[in-house]
Structure 1
């Protein structure tokens, strides 16, 4: 039913069997079959609220007793893989998501508020980093929070951003500047490139926050669009960490989050391969089973090998974070997300092809998976950029470890 790599993780960490069973039981009850585009779409936010009631929204931050200490990140990866088997939009059902940044780095009042909303009630948090002109170039961000001593005034535009309509709040990445510096900023933002990145928590009911939605190609379970900030007044306690801590917060959080999105796609790809194998056994070409056609078997075998290898790498990186206590390997996590989403896309594309004309309709989950995974090859950093992060670290010798795959303890 599940990939060998998924089962191997459970063999190494039997203490997570009960947690995994709870996630599967939840999905079986609320999302029993993979989602197709033509079917009524699940009430995604309501499902997250149900997950909160089941204690499945705070386990990644030791906010619940369902996961043993030290296994939070591995458990989050297992939950994301299982969610992806039902639908890529199910990625938001479990764990604290992007609220983890507010819970880890926020002031006490922010932590209490976010914990109550996101962990206890199942509200959703978003992240606002990319901007229309800069994409994944964090140094090029032009959203500014002007420091007036006792408060900040936030101005700028973020987009395209997921969860613009559903999120109760956003972690916003911006540049904190003084009034004098803000008064002389050039329209192109060249001077801002030298200002270190900061992060803050922004509640969506704050005056001056405007939303604008857009229609995405895939990942339609959650809204997509722009956030506009018009001199939004915020207290200084809205900052996460200290001014200038934004890049550290971003790299630490997104290294793990990229692995989670990778595992969502790998779960979807594994389900697609299983469905395709079952179909090829049932269908025939003349007197020969489709599964016995060499070219068909070869393509399915290639897809399975790539998906299994990517799954093993992603879980290896999560286990390294637990076992070794090393600094986050940003480069490896970035490349693993790119490899996993590329492999997943190819696997679903093969599955769609081998379903014939049925695969190109909305009554199988293949076409929705293809659109969704295509979006996740862009989200959180486009894959070309993520591969280049690994290449740069190898070329400059800046990798913290020579191992691409963590060495497991004997």
Structure 2
């Protein structure tokens, strides 16, 4: 099952075969078996640093292979970087995430620039150099701080404010629940940027603050005044989770990503692709779970009958495999179109694909756990950890109900033209 899905992608993009082999070799050397909750926790941040040494942290940006003219590094950096043909960076990132998910959902942070891509794509030269040195070369992590305790996925409802004092900003607010609060070198913070004379008004007038456009900035974690508060998550325990608190945190104006008010554009452009990455992590975990269950079904018997020959067992496994393969194909087809349509990513389709994929992956792992019997409910198999991890990724980066509604609203508004889809189907 795994081989057929990867083979289909590589058949369309043979130039990525060497890259996929590099990722697989890295995983075989450092994380040869799927992680379980019973075993010692892998040194995730250490693995990311090793991935940086192997050139597997900067391949997802076009500038990673072009050098100083693009502000993305020096010639010596590029010697180790896994070479990905221009235009296939997102597909390569999706391959890495799928392969990582087969070992563990927490391995999602080992490869690529992750959320640091926003700072590298939209940051001032000084920010680009700093983030490249730390995240790409050094293998550190970049986080993202968007949701707030009171607003969830409502971006217009954010109350974190950056007051513009000319040469610097003063940032105040709370973000949570945020992943990587202890490990990240810095965060991309989404906030509302206002003038000093507006600050008092918007702090007391929620409706006025909703009208302020979103902005984004890069905030190194060593910045004075940044406070962290951790919480214990149900799953995805390989990385810390918690809150970030800011009270008049001074940020240089060069920390602004893009122009003031560019935050929503930056968010949509990044998270359209990132949601597909999280989808593929879950789909990788689901394919591994299905394969393990098929192996078990062939070996186990009920009376004189192999478990694999019981129609209800075969039907459930087949249904799971069909859903996972269909979701995987959709995710990769969307990644192949990113940057090629001329109008930016299809936010609605990417949102729905992430929801569909994580739902399908959760059902597949649930079936796999059930067919493992009582063993599946223990911590010495990877099933229960996968189930908890995927459950978290059905909430992260936008809960699935919200993501499905994004597609529905797009369809109801008539903003999704049909001709390109019809042409694509005829070509296929």
TM-score (norm. length: structure 2): 0.93
For 2:340 and 2:305, how far apart are their aligned partners in 1? 49
Query: Quick one: structure 1 residues 328 and 172, their matched pair in 2 at CA, closer, same or farther if it must change by over 3 Å?
Result: same
Is 1:15–2:15 an aligned residue pair?
Answer: yes
Is the Cα contact below 8 Å between 1:124 and 1:167 reproduced in 2? Answer: yes
Match of 1:225 in 2: 242
Task: Mark the runs of 5 or more structure 1 residues left unpaired by the alignment.
Answer: none
Match of 1:33 in 2: 33
Query: Quick one: structure 1 residues 245 and 32, their matched pair in 2 at CA, closer, same or farther if it must change by over 3 Å?
Result: same
Is the Cα contact below 8 Å between 1:145 and 1:153 reproduced in 2? Answer: yes
Decide which of 140, 143, 153 is 2:160's aligned counterpart.
Answer: 143
TM-score (norm. length: structure 1): 0.98
Is 1:122–2:131 an aligned residue pair?
Answer: no
Larger deviation: 322-331 or 375-384? 322-331
Query: Quick one: structure 1 residues 60 and 400, their matched pair in 2 at CA, closer, same or farther if it must change by over 3 Å?
Result: farther
Match of 1:6 in 2: 6
Match of 2:225 in 1: 208
Give the 3-state SS of the residue equivalent to 1:407 in structure 2: helix
1:7-406 alignment, distance < 5 Å? 7-62=7-62, 63=64, 64-187=81-204, 189-399=206-416
What is the RMSD computed on CA atoms of the aligned residues?
1.4
Is the Cα contact below 8 Å between 1:265 and 1:344 reproduced in 2? Answer: yes
Is the Cα contact below 8 Å between 1:131 and 1:158 reproduced in 2? Answer: yes
| Structure 1 residues 23-44: Cα deviation after superposition (integer angstroms, max 9, x where no partner) | 0000000000000000001000
Give the 3-state SS of the residue equivalent to 1:170 in structure 2: strand
Task: Mark the runs of 5 or more structure 2 residues left unpaired by the alignment.
Answer: 65-80
Aligned residues: 410
For 2:418 and 2:50, how far apart are their aligned partners in 1? 41
| Structure 1 residues 55-94: Cα deviation after superposition (integer angstroms, max 9, x where no partner) | 0000000313521222111100000000000000000000
For 1:342 and 1:110, how far apart are their aligned partners in 2? 37
| Structure 1 residues 354-409: Cα deviation after superposition (integer angstroms, max 9, x where no partner) | 00000000000000000000000000000000000000000001125556699286
For 1:405 and 1:217, how far apart are their aligned partners in 2? 43
Post-superposition, which runs of at least 4 consecutive aligned residues in structure 1 deviate over 3 A?
322-326, 400-406
